[in-house]
């Protein structure tokens, strides 16, 4: 089975790109499936199902979505194999731009759109930087010049990736993207493989459901901003605050 | 080993590769910018130097001036949707030519253009092959870090950046690391104004340009700054732009122009037109002498229609046309 991780900021058109691309692969007689990762709610599974694409969804809920992804990805691969899929795609939104679901030795695709602004490629971080293929969408509504500027910015962040322009509405470019997916190597397990980029080092009381504000409620990996406050300013006195030792990372 | 000369200072390196500042900032090495006289090779460790050399190589190839290399495209026919061999088995298009593509919706115009863009090697649904200068090219046009083969100008494109015309052009010129950016920006602005008829200033925000002005600016910008040798145009609306001159500007910059159009005036302006039917190229028509003669009549008709539009806009009645 060919396994592909697709990531990208919310609302760039990941689902549309995946549907258009899998359509071509399906037409060629292959069995395709998607595991959709999201946070709180998604109806995309219905969209996939409507297209005849096998689908499972995973909602991270209170957990960090990327940690949730990595804790479940092996099971997803095994599901794909059990379903007899030829191509399995994992779809996840990079929500804080800090993480990336990309795994070494597994084809990594990052989807971004031309409307996100020319600084976006620099802000997106590891899911763009560590991708093998960068798909740029919504090219049909911006000028050629803007597309070129945007592609150049992507190139500066990731000099090695193949940059492809795909239109999620008309499907332009999706056939070509599909040839990369079917041409990638076989995956039978991801156990033992490594993430291309480590997940953030964060385990604090807020990760565990704390909602109250103040030093008394901050435990674990807490780091304070350096705001250069005048002495005597009221702070919550948390770890790392002026005059308080300990805490911080 | 790294390809970066040992004694090259930070300042000299930045002069040669202005995009280095971004590389340094991204790796939290912006502090180096304060010590311009320090040789790069001393400031960075081997791993970073290696990474830097790769970055420079990739950026140079991305910004490369390969556009000069493409002189002609050859499309070798594949098969129609029903599997029968494509009627037109070979079509060669040279730099400076304008080829129109006509055919009903769903006939396969987009697929033909996609085959060109992807430089098909018999590996697309049509089985076509696209040759560049007579040869089957390698993967660089598909995945290489250089420019794409095709630049696209379509009807529904907009400027979404909120910048003045000049800032916008500077941004584009910078991203292309263009030589003589000032001169190029001036040339784009002059041409765009000629095309549009209604002039705009360099400090006009791009988002407040009229439809005709936007299109004029996009065409002039693509002609001068885009590195893609092929320009694909999806119709050019007649409103507010001199279409013949628009094509001439692109041709003058040694572009191959492909135009998907059903406008009789535009279609007759082309050197040839390809007819698409049922997924295949079925005919290549070079306008006859009679067609060319009809072009004048069509233009006169068109001008009459434009005049009526102008009168309508001015609040006049159209009892007499």
Q: Same domain, yes or no, for B283 and B230?
A: yes
Q: Same domain, yes or no, for B134 and B34?
A: no
Q: Same domain, yes or no, for B51 and B131?
A: no
Mark yes or no for CB contact B114/A173 under 8 Å: yes
In a domain, B316, yes or no: no
Q: Same domain, yes or no, for B81 and B17?
A: no
Strand, coil or helix: what is B46?
A: helix
DSSP secondary structure string for all residues of B104-142: -TTSSHHHHHHHHHTT-BS-STT--EEEETTB---THHH
Q: Which residues in chain B are closer than 8 Å to A146, comparing Cβ atoms?
A: 159-161
Q: Same domain, yes or no, for B131 and B21?
A: no
Query: Closest approach of chain B CAs to the CA of A218, in angstroms?
Result: 29
Domain containing B282 equals 67-287
Backbone angles phi, psi at B131, to 5 degrees: -105, 145
| Residues present in chain A in total | 249
Q: Are B86 and B280 in contact (CB under 8 A)?
A: yes
- The predicted structure's pLDDT at residue B170: 93
In a domain, B317, yes or no: no
Q: Same domain, yes or no, for B96 and B125?
A: yes
- The predicted structure's pLDDT at residue B33: 82
In a domain, B308, yes or no: no
Please choose, from the candidates A141, A183, A187, the residue with its C-alpha nearest in 3D space to the C-alpha of residue A165: A141
In a domain, B293, yes or no: no
Q: Are A159 and B55 in contact (CB under 8 A)?
A: yes
Each of the 249 residues of chain A gets a pLDDT tens digit; together they read 999 999 999 899 999 999 999 999 999 999 999 999 988 888 889 999 999 999 999 988 877 778 888 889 999 999 999 999 999 999 998 767 777 889 999 999 999 999 988 888 988 888 999 999 999 999 988 988 999 899 988 988 998 899 999 999 989 899 999 999 999 999 999 999 988 988 766 677 777 778 788 788 888 777 777 777 788 777 776 555 444 444 433
- The predicted structure's pLDDT at residue A111: 96
Interface check for A202 against chain B (CB to CB < 8 A): the answer is: no
Show which of residues 141-160 on chain B sit within 8 Å of chain A, judged by CB atoms: 142-143, 145, 147-148, 151-154, 156-160
**Percentage helix, strand, coil for chain A under 3-state DSSP, each rounded to 5:** 30, 20, 50
Mark yes or no for CB contact A149/B175 under 8 Å: yes
Nearest-angstrom CA–CA distance, B206 and B159 = 6
Q: Which residues in chain A are closer than 8 Å to B221, comparing Cβ atoms?
A: 143-145
Q: Same domain, yes or no, for B121 and B221?
A: yes
Interface check for A179 against chain B (CB to CB < 8 A): the answer is: yes
Query: Closest approach of chain B CAs to the CA of A56, in angstroms?
Result: 30
Domain CATH number, residue B167: 3.40.50.300
In chain A, the domains with their CATH numbers are: 2-182 (3.40.50.300), 205-249 (no CATH)
Interface check for A23 against chain B (CB to CB < 8 A): the answer is: no
Angle at which helices B243-252 and B181-196 cross, to 10°: 160
Q: Which residues in chain A are closer than 8 Å to B147, comparing Cβ atoms?
A: 148
Nearest-angstrom CA–CA distance, A76 and B259 = 46
Centre a 10 Å sphere on the Cβ of residue B317 and count the other Cβ atoms it contains. Answer: 7
Q: Which residues contact B167 (CB under 8 A, 6 or more apart)?
A: none
In a domain, B1, yes or no: no
- The predicted structure's pLDDT at residue A156: 87
In a domain, B86, yes or no: yes
Residue ranges, chain B, pLDDT below 50: 1-2, 65-68
The shortest CB-CB distance from A162 to any of B63, B143, B168 is to B143
Centre a 10 Å sphere on the Cβ of residue A45 and count the other Cβ atoms it contains. Answer: 18
Count: domains in chain B: 2
DSSP symbol at B63: S
Q: Same domain, yes or no, for B194 and B211?
A: yes
Query: In this predicted complex, what is the ipTM?
Result: 0.76
Q: Which residues in chain B are closer than 8 Å to A157, comparing Cβ atoms?
A: 26
Q: Same domain, yes or no, for B269 and B178?
A: yes
Q: Same domain, yes or no, for B42 and B147?
A: no
Q: Same domain, yes or no, for B130 and B210?
A: yes
In a domain, B298, yes or no: no
In a domain, B3, yes or no: no
Interface check for A119 against chain B (CB to CB < 8 A): the answer is: no
Please choose, from the candidates A233, A151, A181, the residue with its C-alpha nearest in 3D space to the C-alpha of residue B171: A151
- The predicted structure's pLDDT at residue A243: 45
Burial A142-177 (b: 16+ CB within 10 A, else e): bbbbbbbbbbbbbbbbbbebbbbbbbbeebbbbbbb
Q: Same domain, yes or no, for B49 and B71?
A: no
Q: Which residues contact A92 (CB under 8 A, 6 or more apart)?
A: A5, A6, A7, A36, A37, A38, A65, A66, A69, A101
- The predicted structure's pLDDT at residue B62: 67
């Amino acid at each position: 089975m060919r396994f592909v991780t697709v990531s990208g900021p919310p609302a760039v058109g990941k689902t549309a790109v995946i549907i258009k691309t899998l359509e071509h692969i399906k037409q060629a007689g292959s069995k395709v499936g998607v595991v959709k990762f999201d946070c709180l709610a998604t109806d995309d599974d219905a969209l996939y199902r409507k297209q005849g694409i096998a689908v499972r969804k995973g909602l991270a809920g209170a957990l960090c979505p990327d940690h949730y992804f990595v804790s479940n990805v092996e099971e997803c691969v095994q599901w794909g194999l059990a379903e007899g899929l030829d191509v399995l795609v994992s779809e996840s939104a990079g929500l804080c731009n800090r993480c990336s679901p990309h795994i070494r030795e597994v084809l990594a695709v990052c989807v971004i759109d031309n409307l996100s602004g020319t600084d976006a490629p620099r802000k997106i971080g590891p899911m763009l930087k560590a991708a093998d293929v960068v798909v740029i969408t919504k090219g049909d509504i911006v000028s050629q010049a803007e597309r070129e500027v945007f592609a150049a910015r992507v190139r500066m962040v990731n000099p090695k990736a193949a940059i492809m322009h795909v239109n999620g509405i008309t499907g332009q470019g999706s056939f070509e993207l599909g040839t990369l997916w079917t041409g990638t190597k076989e995956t039978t397990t991801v156990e033992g493989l490594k993430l291309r980029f480590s997940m953030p080092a964060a385990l604090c009381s807020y990760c565990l459901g704390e909602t109250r504000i103040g030093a008394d409620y901050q435990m674990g990996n807490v780091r304070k901003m350096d705001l250069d406050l005048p002495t005597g300013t009221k702070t919550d006195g948390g770890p790392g605050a002026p005059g308080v030792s300990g805490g911080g990372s | 080993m790294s390809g970066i000369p040992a004694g090259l200072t930070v300042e000299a390196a930045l002069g040669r590769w202005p995009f280095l500042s971004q590389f340094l900032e991204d790796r939290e090495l912006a502090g180096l910018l304060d010590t311009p006289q320090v040789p790069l090779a001393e400031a960075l460790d081997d791993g970073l130097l290696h990474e830097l050399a790769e970055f420079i190589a990739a950026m140079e190839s991305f910004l490369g001036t390969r556009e000069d290399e493409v002189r002609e495209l050859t499309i070798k026919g594949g098969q129609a949707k029903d599997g029968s061999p494509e009627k037109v088995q070979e079509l060669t298009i040279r730099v400076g030519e304008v080829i129109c593509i006509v055919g009903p919706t769903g006939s396969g115009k987009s697929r033909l253009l996609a085959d060109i863009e992807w430089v098909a090697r018999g590996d697309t649904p049509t089985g076509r092959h696209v040759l560049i200068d007579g040869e089957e090219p390698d993967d660089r046009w598909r995945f290489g870090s250089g420019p794409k083969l095709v630049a696209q100008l379509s009807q529904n494109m907009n400027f979404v950046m909120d910048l003045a015309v000049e800032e916008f052009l500077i941004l584009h010129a910078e991203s292309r690391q263009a030589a003589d950016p000032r001169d190029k920006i001036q040339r784009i602005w002059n041409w765009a104004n000629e095309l549009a008829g209604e002039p705009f200033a360099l400090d006009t925000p791009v988002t407040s340009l009229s439809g005709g002005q936007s299109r004029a600016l996009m065409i002039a910008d693509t002609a001068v700054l885009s590195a893609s040798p092929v320009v694909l145009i999806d119709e050019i609306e007649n409103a507010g732009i001199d279409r013949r001159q628009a094509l001439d500007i692109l041709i003058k910059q040694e572009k191959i122009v492909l135009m998907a159009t059903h406008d009789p005036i535009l279609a007759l302006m082309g050197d040839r037109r390809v007819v698409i039917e049922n997924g295949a190229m079925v005919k290549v028509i070079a306008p006859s002498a009679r067609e060319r003669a009809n072009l004048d009549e069509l233009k006169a008709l068109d001008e009459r229609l434009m005049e009526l539009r102008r009168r309508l806009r001015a609040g006049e009645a159209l009892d007499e046309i």
